[in-house]
Amino acid sequence: MDHDSTTAPGHASQPDPVTRLFDVRGKVVVVTGASSGLGEGFARTLAQAGVTVFAAARRVERLEVLAEEHESVIPVACDVTIDADRRALVERAIAGRGRIDILVNTAGIPGPPYAEQETEDGFRRILEVNLASQFHLATAVAATVPEGREASIINVSSVIGMVSTAPIGGAGYAASKAGVLGLTRELAGQWGRRGIRVNAIVPGWFDTEMTEGLFTNERSATWVRRNTMLNRGGRAGEVDGALLFLASPASSYVTGQAIVVDGGWTAR
């Protein structure tokens, strides 16, 4: 008999060692940008994995729908560019569950595709949402982690922050997502000795609210397929494996890294 995944009669069975690698049950997670796109998918996946999810976004009505579907999702109205909102989000999680084990910085906005179309205010807004908010939330969460406790911070970047994707992408968006990668490495370096791991997920082309029209336009859809090794865009849920890896004990010795999930786009 295989005793690795069983216990003595009368005792509840325990997960086998491999399953425990990816076990995040009981964790407390904050996910920003959870009202749509990858953020919404992340919140759903984590809730299904047995995590308490404080789902944050400006469109709280969408979060409430998510909470109705998953009782472990707690909706929190939050504009990540507002300091009071960020502090209230962190305080809500600490007051409700006593700790934050994982932060997933997903909130982001796109910009115009051409540099000539960027305005000073628009450029600043993109950096505030996509980059500065990740820094401020990461530092706020890190401040709640006591000595001897570990935490995982997962920042969401983009292939647009690694390579030029002109004519799709935009200067402001590219700058913000490249900044996320630098921020991830630096925070990992500063906080590693405290047991706080900081990593980034780098998605390729996925059909989300932010990429609306990309896959319904045959010209742009063909462009994605032609330049992707797997000859297609990403499917719903295909980033979730990287998320669970970085959130779980399976990545306990991984920090300062960028996990690219792009079907081979940046490897060409």
Other beta carbons less than 10 A from residue 16's beta carbon: 12
Strand pairing class (28-32; 196-203): unpaired
Within 10 Å of residue 66's Cβ, how many Cβ atoms?
A: 20
3-state secondary structure 113-175: CCHHHCCHHHHHHHHHHHHHHHHHHHHHHHCCCCCCCCEEEEEECCHHHCCCCCCCCCHHHHH
Question: Which residues does the annotation mark as catalytic?
Answer: 173
| Helix (H) or strand (E) segment spanning residue 221 | helix 218-226
- Per the CB < 8 A criterion, the answer to whether 74 and 57 are in contact is no
Calpha distance 192→252 (Å, rounded): 11
Alpha carbon 161 to its chain's center:
15
Please tell me the total number of residues recorded for the chain in this structure: 268
